[in-house]
Structure 1
């Protein structure tokens, strides 16, 4: 059994999700102590419990310590069974993070699967649906499988109530190189809101316009049905030939619209000023499929603690190293060996 200290590295829920995915793929059981040990509220939260439940369900697994607030978790995998599954987080917990837990095992399961995930689709501390659908999944599909995700209903924090559907046509993962992003094709900036005053989104867009200097026609505001709120997100998107980067800023109490937009614009400007293929969040997501493919290379901005922790968990299960090398340009090259 692989023993993991959940307070190591970034000390968050990513350790739980990656360990579950790798356990299902390799058949190796694991135990995590000090679950989410570096978070202000340690232990499993509702979305982590749902993610582990999802892994246990698709893999006929057995689990001890699976409860909200639990600081220890033991997981023993069975055989992954493809099929149709529905998982509801029950709060605004992230559907994207539940998907992250079960996607790779189902991609390698040998027959198609369909997932219905209910909960949060646009909430803090997790990639929004738009990032999953337009940034991450296109790269996964280049590796062999076909994964199609559809947003049925938005779910903002704290209400939740969103729904996504995901169809998975499996295939062996093949290594790919993601080094050059290619020519810029388009840009867009969208402020979405529900159950909030229009001027919140309007102020976000005004600030983003001023800071990014993008053409006037790429900025837009979209109002969603009031019952899907309250909620607000600013999505900045830059589409290149080989990759699309999406930066998001989530509205939250006490954070002025201008400050939210300023942070998002600074992150997008930093990405555009670099020559990296992957932004920090895409880099996090690419490590697991690359390792399962047995190799691959991509360039990214400065690796986050999330990425370094993910690399450590991958090495424990697969024995494959993710090597980070800083290039003269300041970009980092990541290679799975």
Structure 2
């Protein structure tokens, strides 16, 4: 389509997600877009490091013509070319989130001709973004139900403010995306987690996380949680950092997760309790997709062949934003079904059945 579709970046969540999703769908669907009012609802509007690096990566992948790709830009026009499989490197030189860069590139590269490789350098475990561990342990199993996956090799962690994390991602291409039905919870057959510290933080902080999370989870789990507490080696993590990632798997193929990231003053008990209580609430209520993965599945549901259904929590602003962009750009139709009086819903999508033109 030669006509440029204009998208208001201040809609609903008004952050970087509108830009990421719009750019990804622009590349896949070969639709030229103009995104205005970028990150209008943020304290520092316009493109920040992580958004600019993601934009420039997608420009490289598709050979796009771009206007407005500079720091603090509040409007970007993007005219994509064909998706080119290959090897790409992004070095943010900061603690900008590599997970958010991957989030933008993954749905694009699966529609290349061949397998692609990404080398990402920046923040692996930083605030206001998924920790890379959540991407591999929780998001990836959900994507595999759609027929999408990736290999991930974490070489070094990067924390705020210095970053310097280093990972390599291998992304196989697909012909199309399968519709999924994640509406039956089943029973819990695995609960595991990782509680870690790095740098000068003592191991006891990770042990505090583990003990607090276990205490909460034991009250709802039919099986014993298998949680690890450890200190990262200096080769893997140079700077101070801490966090916890928890996940549960059910007999019906549901993978749910929760996480918490340590700030400057680290309270291990509080971090473990926070993550534990969130996961416990999902298990108690029989949710099939957690509120963090919910919005990340929207693009895949929109492009899938057939109708997808996921039982999840009330829709987040991120998810509502992702749905708005997906419907606007792809023509997919999303709708919800109520689930009793729990406040949970079944999110449904009649996908457009997009086919990889290069396969």
TM-score by length of 1: 0.94
Stretch deviating more after TM superposition (176-185 or 163-172)? 176-185
Q: Which residue of 1 aligns with 2:214?
A: 209
Please state whether the residue corresponding to 1:228 is helix, strand or coil: coil
In the other structure, the counterpart of 1:51 is 54
Moved more, 126-135 or 271-280: 126-135
Query: 2:96 aligned to 93, 97, 107, which one?
Result: 93
Contact residue 142 and residue 255 of structure 2 kept, 8 A: no
Q: Give the SS at the match of 2:243.
A: strand
Q: Does 1:200 align with 2:194?
A: no
What is residue 275 of structure 2 aligned with on the other side? 264
Gaps of 5+ in 2: 351-359
Give the Cα–Cα distance (whole angstroms) in 1 for the partners of residues 328 and 264 of structure 2.
40
Aligned residue number for residue 224 of structure 1: 232
Instruction: Rate the CA distance shift 1:46–1:36 in 2: closer, same or farther, 3 A.
Output: same
Deviation of 1:156 after TM superposition, in Å, equals 1.9
Deviations 1:93-133 (A, max 9, x none): 11111111111111112221111111111112211222211
Q: CA RMSD in A?
A: 1.9
Whole-angstrom distance in 2 between the partners of 1:31 and 1:312: 15
1:170–1:216 Cα change, 3 Å: closer
Q: Greater shift after overlay, 139-148 or 306-315?
A: 139-148
1:32 aligns with 2:35: yes
Q: 1:183 — aligned with what?
A: 187
Distance 1:212 1:176, change over 3 A: closer
Q: Which whole-Å CA distance do the structure 2 matches of 1:258 and 1:26 have between them?
A: 46
Task: Select 1:318's aligned residue among 326, 330, 335.
Answer: 330
Q: CA deviation at 1:13?
A: 0.6
Counterpart CA distance in 1 for 2:216 and 2:182 is 29
Give the drift of 1:254.
Answer: 4.3
* Mean CA deviation greater in 36-45 or 17-26: 36-45
Q: Deviations over 1:281-311 (max 9, x none)?
A: 1111111111111431111111101000100
Does the CA-based 8 Å contact 2:48-2:72 persist in structure 1?
Answer: yes
Any conservation in 1 of the 2:243–2:271 contact (CA below 8 Å)? no
**Contact 2:197–2:240 (Cα < 8 Å) also in 1:** yes
**CA distance in structure 2 between the aligned counterparts of 1:38 and 1:89, rounded to whole angstroms:** 23
Which residue among 65, 69, 74 is the counterpart of 2:68?
Answer: 65
The residue that corresponds to 2:249 in the other structure is: 239
Unaligned 5+ residue runs, structure 1?
none
Measure the CA separation in 2 of the matches of 1:222 and 1:255.
Answer: 15
Provide the C-alpha distance between the structure 1 equivalents of 2:273 and 2:103, rounded to a whole number of angstroms: 29
Change (3 A) 1:5 1:91: same
Contact 1:180 1:277 in 2 (8 A): yes
Counterpart of 1:296?
Answer: 308
